[in-house]
Amino acid sequence: MDMAQSSLVRRSRHRRWLGLAVVGLGMVLVLLVGGYYLYGWTAIQGLDSLVYAPSEDASAPQPSSSMTLAGLRPDLLSPTPVGAPLPNDVILPDLASLRLYPGERVAFTFWAVPWAAQAVAAVGEEPPQGFLPADQFVLGARGTLPIAKRMRIPAIEVDADVRQLRILNPGSSREYETPKNVVGHIPESSNPGEEGNAWFFGHLQSPIRGEGSIFQDLPLIPEILRTGQRVYVKLDSSSTSYLYEVYKTDILYQDDLRLYDTDPATITLVTCVPALTYDYRLLVTARLVGFKSVL
């Protein structure tokens, strides 16, 4: 074999390996793109779990997350003085039916997983101490009260600054800037303590731009509500701290989101879902239930 033939063989082998490498790279890209779309489809199917609607009879008293069976009836197992007669209407329990585990003292919402009762209740529900009822507060007209400075959601351990979002003009359209490591408030919407609806936006995550993940645990709120626990949002202005209670959550496609107003004083928290696709919006709505001065 002369040098020309040898060079031709080498070039042929190089082309063959290059072709195999291109085919392999193409297969990897197909798998990645296919996996991404499969993940997106699967994630969208689970978005219904993020919808929480209030009960049909919202005025009916609801059991609290701390309500127990022992709290609804006399404690038959409490110490009784020796020789003291029992009340006529007391029926002693069948000893064979008693269990060592104190189920009567476990909150109803944790009967399925009683070992989680203490830990979850401690994180998920914080008594709103020091707040006066909202019906004692005179709501302000829109734009008359101080803006929000800080937001806290104890149930999901959110404690973040609030900043007013500016309107940007990239050329072809106008849009609000994205909140960077803060909760962003739409300045045209209501301020805390005012009539109407106040809108607040925050990132679920921001892996490319690095703008924070203030609302990364916002999708946990619907499940917390289903356990019967209350979720409070505290908004602080320069003079007053406002207490809002979450009562519903919803999911909208990104193109269907419109800022709407309400008659009562409410706030709506918004973040993008699901993770990595971000083409839907989770809306968490809360009503004003209390206030207190911070001066």
Query: Which CATH number fits the domain that encloses residue 171?
Result: 2.40.260.10
Contact yes or no for 53/248 (Cβ under 8 A): yes
Considering the domain boundaries, does residue 131 fall inside one?
yes
Q: pLDDT confidence of 268, banded at 50, 70, 90?
A: very high
Q: How far apart are CA 124 and CA 153, in angstroms?
A: 10
Global pTM reads: 0.70
Q: Is the peptide bond prior to 274 cis by the omega test (within 30 degrees of 0)?
A: yes
Considering the domain boundaries, does residue 203 fall inside one?
yes
Strand, coil or helix: what is 194? Answer: strand
Considering the domain boundaries, does residue 66 fall inside one?
no
Work out the mean pLDDT of the chain and round it to a whole number.
80
Question: What pLDDT does residue 103 have?
Answer: 59
Token readout for 61 is 């008293």
Considering the domain boundaries, does residue 69 fall inside one?
no
Q: Look at residue 293 and tell me whether its pLDDT is greater than 50.
A: yes
Considering the domain boundaries, does residue 2 fall inside one?
no
For 25-70, how does the pLDDT look when each residue is reduced to its tens digit (9 = 90+)? 887 777 777 765 666 677 788 899 999 998 754 444 444 555 555 5
Range of the domain at 273: 47-57+120-293
Pairing of strands 150-153, 232-236: antiparallel
Percentage of the chain surpassing pLDDT 70? 69
Residue type, 97: S
Q: Look at residue 128 and tell me whether its pLDDT is greater than 50.
A: yes
Considering the domain boundaries, does residue 115 fall inside one?
no
CA distances for 279 relative to 3, 89, 204, 244, 251, angstroms:
60, 61, 12, 27, 11
Considering the domain boundaries, does residue 72 fall inside one?
no
Considering the domain boundaries, does residue 137 fall inside one?
yes
Q: What's the domain count of the chain?
A: 1
Question: What pLDDT does residue 36 have?
Answer: 59
